[in-house]
Chain A
């Protein structure tokens, strides 16, 4: 992934407002531009408004599960190459058994330490 000095944009999608606020604050202090959505409809709208450099996506959400939404995102020409970090409490083995494929995304176990997020994002290749 390219590394430039311009502000990188992260879109975080999670139905937990408390966690969203914490992630937003931490990443903004680390120098990222952060947009948050607590539902996929809003996220879909925001994705069409501007293309983020990274999407963090909760798996278990009320309207649609994150993996299905990920497939929708990946099917878009403009968004297909955007890296996605899936977040969930479900063990990966459970998700595979449910028939889901995580091969096209990074995976982050919940609960994670929000303070470690900037470092984790760097490891995905997204530097400020």
Chain B
């Protein structure tokens, strides 16, 4: 407490960025000292320099409050600094973390002198992002930047729809977020951008009525984020629109008219393999094996209520069921994967697992019919 007051006094007496920087570092160290009384934090962490202390604490404490301080620390520096902080944290956490790594590490270190902390580096410009944000207002950009970063969402900013159009062509995004408070944005290529976008586009607007929301949606926006928003509200909008994979969503939209999601569909596989029959047969053969493995794992796990085994079986089956277009089954598999830990949901997990077992038998029968038809040359 005394230490805190001392630091506060120092901060008030010398109110410069320079002193603020050191005050923040000391504050984090102080937090660590406090927590060291109750948690098992290695003592050497407390003697590290500031960035190491911050970075290591992120991993060791997993504490939201302290994490908040760390993020705040990162916010007052450049974005690059934040990445360095996170990177250092993981470098610390991974040294000798796995026996496999240790085993190969020792071999390689002796021959190559390799050190993960030296060669570990980020690419200059990653091009798969969660969100493309189109926002003219500097303050709004800063707020969004902080909130998105704090929630581990990757993003890029564009100042105008024209700039966003260029970025959209070059990179991949899962969602677009457009600030629409400035009416002039309508004359800056907004409609072209909306027409071009294959990902959901959210508008951000201050104080908007329900009628206006409808207008926005009719224009092509997926939804409107009403300003001022809380962090939770913003995240709710973002995750509601990003929860499914964008590419998958585009694809399933095309298929939905002819495919009900209960039976298999060869559409995706045909596109992957240019309708190569041998490839389709090979894939169907592999799919039968996956379905059988899924059934065997669930059958073994159900009587013992082995939730972990059910979760693993569901997790492993999702890619193949997704590729085969059995989308209704995916809902059950994802439910088992995500809800098995929840005691209140475990009854439903059992029901869904039994449901999958029943459906698997039908799916295997369907696949065999498809294979027979392909072999007989009745289908391309």
Contacts and interface: CB of A to CB of B under 8 A. Distances in A.
B62 interface: yes
Interface string B267-288: 0110111101001001100110
A115 B268 contact: yes
A22 B114 contact: no
A114 B87 contact: no
B98 interface: yes
Nearest to A94: B152
B123 A83 contact: yes
Given A40-B100, A75-B115, A113 B245 contact: yes
A116 B268 CA distance: 11
Interface stretch (B12-20, B40-48, B317-325): B317-325
Contact of A21 (B58, B245, B282): B282
A69 B200 CA distance: 34
A74 B119 contact: yes
A18 B100 CA distance: 26
Contact of A44 (B104, B151, B251, B290): B104
A54 to B, nearest CB: 12
Interface string B331-349: 0000001000000000000
A71 B268 CA distance: 33
B186 interface: no
Given A76-B108, A124-B127, A115 B98 contact: no
Interface string B11-54: 00000000000000000000000000000000000000000000
Given A18-B323, A74-B119, A77-B114, A114 B268 contact: yes
Given A71-B120, A75-B119, A123-B170, A113 B89 contact: no
B251 A68 contact: no
A90 to B, nearest CB: 10
A111 B86 contact: no
Interface centre among A19, A77, A93, A114 (most CB of B within 10 A): A114
Contacts of B279: 25
Interface in B223-279: 245, 247-248, 250-251, 268-269, 271-274, 276, 279
B215 interface: no
Given A103-B83, A114-B272, A108 B114 contact: no
B322 A99 contact: no
A80 interface: yes
B128 A113 contact: no
B114 A29 contact: no
B273 to A, nearest CB: 5
A110 interface: yes
A19 B5 CA distance: 58
Given A25-B279, A106-B126, A106-B128, A64 B114 contact: no
Nearest to B271: A115
Given A18-B320, A96-B152, A120 B112 contact: no
Interface string B310-330: 000001101110110000000
10 contacts: A18-B287, A25-B272, A68-B100, A75-B114, A77-B114, A93-B151, A101-B91, A111-B245, A114-B268, A120-B128
Interface of A: 15-19, 21-22, 25-26, 29, 40, 44, 60, 63-64, 68, 71-72, 74-77, 80, 83, 89, 92-93, 96-97, 99-101, 103-116, 120, 123-125
Given A19-B323, A72-B104, A107-B128, 19 more contacts: A16-B316, A21-B286, A22-B272, A29-B273, A40-B100, A71-B94, A72-B101, A72-B105, A75-B116, A75-B120, A77-B112, A89-B337, A92-B130, A101-B89, A103-B122, A109-B245, A111-B245, A115-B251, A115-B272
